[in-house]
Structure 1
Amino acid sequence: MERTFVMIKPNGVERTLIGEIIKRIERKGLEINALKIILASKEQAKKHYDIHQNKPFFEDLVKYICSGPVVVMVVSGNNSVEIMRLLAGATDPTKSQPGTIRGDFSSDVRLNLIHTADAIERAKYEISIYFNENEIIDYKRSIDKHTFTK
């Protein structure tokens, strides 16, 4: 199973969209293998957005991610990186399709509610910023038996 990293940003938490976003992830058939609400440190935010460190918006992005609680998740499933990118919608919500998280709930590129990793290797890196391997639970659902196996 492919893993990806997902973050509900401070404005998504503030707007009480955590449940709605999780519901969409689960309804798509993806599994949530780790989840926590945290206050991201400046160090974590800088590592997370290191690919933007030379861009003019980098410091504002770090400040925003540290401005309030965020929900960080490890999500898995077949093609989870691509599926989460599609569920989230375009980074610029004005270009996001209705039915996507950003298309339905956001209109500001600076406050676009959710971050999803854009590639498998990037997902591994972002997961490592927020989670230790022992915090991630891989499980297989058994619909027939209504049990979970690790």
Structure 2
Amino acid sequence: MKSYALIIMKPDALELDLVETIIQRFLKEGFKIEMVGFKQVDQYLILSHYTQVIDKLGEQFKQMIIADFVGKSMMPVILSQNGKKAIENARALTGATDPSASLPGTIRGDYGVDSMKAADREKRVCKNLVHCSDSRESFLTEMKLWFNQKTYDIFSV
């Protein structure tokens, strides 16, 4: 049985030329690439993606994500892995949201150069390289948002 995970290469991963390095880390852990996209981020896309976080953190966070993401490029990637734990395994490999708190051996721990503390101080979003869906439900919602209905129909089974 295969399970799926969605990761999204954020602008800092693209700017630091880490896309291939990050993908290789997933491949070494037994993931396979199912689909790759490339999106120029607009306000609708980023606000839709971060709806729950905006509800939790408020208007200031909303303004930060608009400033930090709109007009930049991101790469959504659907990965698969044998077994039922692709999302859990992808999140473990990705590391903690705060790169400065991520363990060595994780993507953010090995390649991250930012911290939540610095981002808060500078009133911006933390540059943590990769987004990773945190549940099957968020995988389905985010996949439909970053790809399309046809992709959703293929991977929602």
| TM-score computed with the length of structure 2 as normaliser | 0.80
SS of the residue 1:73 aligns to: strand
1:1-150 map, 5 Å: 1-54=2-55, 55=57, 56-77=60-81, 78=83, 79-108=85-114, 109=116, 110-135=126-151
- Tell me by how many angstroms 1:81 deviates: 0.6
- Residues of 1 paired with 2:94 and 2:69: CA distance? 17
Report the count of equivalent residues.
Answer: 138
- Residues of 1 paired with 2:34 and 2:104: CA distance? 27
Instruction: Kindly indicate whether the alpha-carbon contact (under 8 Å) linking 1:42 and 1:63 is maintained by their aligned counterparts in 2.
Output: no
Which deviates more from structure 2 when the two are superposed, residues 94-103 or residues 65-74?
65-74
Instruction: Kindly indicate whether the alpha-carbon contact (under 8 Å) linking 2:4 and 2:86 is maintained by their aligned counterparts in 1.
Output: yes
- Residues of 1 paired with 2:136 and 2:89: CA distance? 12
SS of the residue 2:38 aligns to: strand
- Residues of 1 paired with 2:90 and 2:127: CA distance? 18
- Tell me by how many angstroms 1:17 deviates: 0.2
- Residues of 2 paired with 1:101 and 1:22: CA distance? 10
- Tell me by how many angstroms 1:52 deviates: 1.2
Aligned residue identity for 1:69: S
- Residues of 1 paired with 2:149 and 2:4: CA distance? 12
- Residues of 1 paired with 2:75 and 2:127: CA distance? 15
- Tell me by how many angstroms 1:133 deviates: 4.8
Gaps of 5+ in 2: 117-125
What whole-Å deviation, never above 9, does each CA across 1:111-141 have from its counterpart, x for those lacking one?
1111001111111100000112545777xxx
- Alignment RMSD (CA, Å): 1.7
What whole-Å deviation, never above 9, does each CA across 1:69-118 have from its counterpart, x for those lacking one?
11111112231111111111000111100111100111324111110011
1:142 aligned partner: none
Runs of 4+ in 1 over 4 A off after TM superposition: 135-138
Quick check: which one's helix share is greater?
Answer: 2
Which deviates more from structure 2 when the two are superposed, residues 48-57 or residues 83-92?
48-57
SS of the residue 1:111 aligns to: coil
- Residues of 1 paired with 2:3 and 2:66: CA distance? 27
SS of the residue 2:97 aligns to: coil
Aligned residue identity for 1:70: M
